[in-house]
């Protein structure tokens, strides 16, 4: 039953550390808190690269991989780094949302990994076909992706004031 774990999670940076958080009951968080060697990978897909041969298809992307071991953020620092997560999501959000209470903080593990060993990789070009494939009558190029902000969707019954970052979220 032991083996690598890979779960999607929010990641944010504070100084020279990347941070993650999760339930104290999480198998992954318990293992990482003990200093288990870990690899954190973040990838943003920018497009599909369509080549003339099946072998030469690829993807355009931006990625970073961090290797190391996580350590537990001390309880005295936990609330501040959670505020930093709120500001990472939306500047000023920490001043609007109810802060975590004592029980919520106690139920949450926050881990940090120093940025000692990290690598970034970017691919941002078209297909690299073999010379003999260039004359093939096959469409080749890039099918780009984009990530856009859509209109905010307020929770039913929301009675609060809409903050600027929500109003400015989607292009008009």
In a domain, 91, yes or no: yes
Residue 2 belongs to a domain: no
Range of the domain at 75: 12-125+139-167
Of the listed ranges 66-75, 146-155, 158-167, the one predicted with least confidence: 158-167
Assess if residue 38 is contained within a domain.
yes
Q: Which residue has the higher pLDDT, 75 or 4?
A: 75
66: CB partners within 8 A, 6+ apart: 18, 39, 40, 41, 113, 115, 117, 118
In a domain, 56, yes or no: yes
Judge contact between 62 and 41, C-beta under 8 A: no
pLDDT at 92: 84
**CA torsion angle 17 89 59 170 (round to 10):** -160
The dihedrals phi and psi of 27, each to the nearest 5 degrees, come to: -60, -45
How far out from the chain centre does Cα 26 lie? 19
Burial of 113 (0-12, 13-18, 19+ CB in 10 A): buried
Q: Is the pLDDT of residue 168 over 90?
A: no
The CATH number for 25's domain is 2.30.110.10
* 140 conformational bin, left if phi > 0, alpha if psi -120 to 50, beta if neither: beta
Report the Cα 29 to chain-centroid distance in Å: 17
pLDDT at 64: 96
Q: How do residues 45-80 score in pLDDT, each as one tens digit?
A: 999 999 999 999 999 999 999 999 999 999 999 999
- What is the domain count for the chain? 1
Percent of the chain with pLDDT over 70: 97
Residue 26 has pLDDT above 80, yes or no: yes
Q: Is the residue at 3 inside a domain?
A: no
- How many Cβ atoms from other residues are within 10 Å of residue 159's Cβ? 6
Computed over every residue of the chain, the mean pLDDT equals 92
Tokens of 148: 């856009």
Is 155 part of a structural domain of the chain?
A: yes
Enter the DSSP assignment of 162: P
Mean pLDDT across 130-134: 97
**Rounded-to-integer distance, Cα 83 and Cα 85, Å:** 5
Q: To which residue do tokens 């000692």 refer?
A: 116
* 63 occurs within a structural domain: yes
User: How many Cα atoms occupy the beta-carbon half-sphere of 67 within 13 Å?
Assistant: 4
Q: How confident is the model at residue 33 (pLDDT cuts 50, 70, 90)?
A: very high
């Amino acid at each position: 039953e032991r083996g690598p774990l890979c779960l999607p999670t929010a990641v944010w940076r504070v100084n020279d550390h990347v941070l993650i958080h999760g339930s104290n009951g999480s198998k992954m968080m318990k293992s990482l808190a003990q200093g288990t060697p870990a690899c954190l990978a973040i990838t943003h897909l920018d497009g599909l690269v369509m080549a003339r041969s099946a072998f030469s298809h690829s993807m355009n992307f931006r990625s970073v991989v961090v290797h190391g071991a996580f350590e537990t953020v001390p309880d005295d620092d936990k609330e501040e780094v959670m505020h930093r997560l709120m500001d990472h999501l939306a500047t000023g959000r920490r001043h609007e949302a109810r802060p975590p209470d004592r029980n919520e903080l106690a139920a949450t593990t926050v881990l940090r990994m120093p940025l000692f060993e990290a690598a970034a990789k970017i691919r941002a070009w078209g297909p690299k076909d073999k010379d003999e494939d260039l004359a093939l009558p096959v469409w080749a190029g890039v099918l780009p992706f984009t990530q856009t902000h859509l209109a905010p969707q307020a929770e039913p019954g929301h009675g609060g004031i809409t903050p600027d970052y929500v109003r400015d979220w989607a292009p008009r």
